[in-house]
Amino acid sequence: MSRPVELHDVRKVYYMGEGVKVEALRGVNLTVERGDFLSIMGPSGSGKTTLLNMIGGLDHPTSGRVLIDGIDITNMSEGELARIRREKIGFVFQFFNLVPLLTALENVELPMVFAGKLTSREIRERAIELLRLVGLGHRLHHRPAELSGGEQQRVAIARALANEPSIILADEPTGNIDQATGRRIIQLMRDLNETLGQTIIVVTHDPVVARASKRTLYMVDGLLSVNPPDLEAAPSPEILREERRQLLLAELGWLRTSIASLERERDRMDRKTYLQAKIGYLKQLEKLRRIIQEDYMRGGRER
């Protein structure tokens, strides 16, 4: 049986102009077995986000190979990568990335509509089951603004499970919620791993998340290590800027893929649901573009 994730000598170099070169990944090798629960820790700028983007097919390596479920995705086109992400990878983001105009139930249904493998009735039944699984059977028809941060993150986890992915990738899943709620999210992810055998990779600064996982690796200067890094050694401002830029671009790419999938499936969707999803995605897209533009202008002033 193929492994959910294999990375072979993966390197990623960013050229930022003015002779500045950032080696975000310096030859990463990683194997994740089915049913693993792996935490990846490390300081800002160490390459954690870049690594997650490689595994999730949100960026291409400069060299090396990335295999998901035995499939080499290294040189795939964007269309092919979108299919892999839709069918084999579930994403859980720090800021949830729910469609604001859709209910919890509709947010969980959306990836299944894109996949086109189930009937409308099957999609509805599975979405209800998933929300009950994460403890939100009583909040099916509430929109994100009517839910707490922890509830929104649980909706995001249910959405990530919708297409039965080979792997769930979580980027700081407790970073935007209070401590007590964060502990409940950690327990939920641990339960999903233990009861369903769900393979999970979490990028986190939270040592409690690391303790809940089956194993922990550390990013140290673009390489994975079993030993924690020297936290006294702060990354350069260039590396920190590039790490944030890659995080924002990854979310931007994810949103664009979601919008493209939405357009392909519009004729099979209820018109109201389609319009609500489209407006919600466009609002998120505009917000991200504004943040990226502000960061770019701020970076220019700092230089």
CATH number of the domain that 260 lies in? 3.40.50.300
Q: What is the pLDDT of residue 201?
A: 94
Residue among 92, 122, 85 at smallest CA distance from 209: 92
Residue-averaged pLDDT of the chain: 84
pLDDT, mean of residues 12-31:
82
The whole-model pTM stands at 0.77
Cα(152)–Cα(286) distance, integer angstroms: 21
Q: Which domain holds residue 150?
A: 5-302
Provide mean pLDDT across the span 19-29.
Answer: 83
Nearby residues of 214 by Cβ (< 8 Å), 6 or more positions away:
36, 37, 38, 193
Give the per-residue pLDDT at 55.
Answer: 93
pLDDT, tens digit, 9 for 90 and up, residues 266-295: 877 778 888 888 888 888 778 777 777 776
Instruction: Domain count for the chain, please give it.
Output: 1
Q: Alpha carbon of 48 to those of 91, 95, 179, 212, 266: distances in Å? A: 15, 17, 22, 19, 35
59-87 confidence digits (pLDDT tens): 889 999 999 999 999 999 888 888 888 88
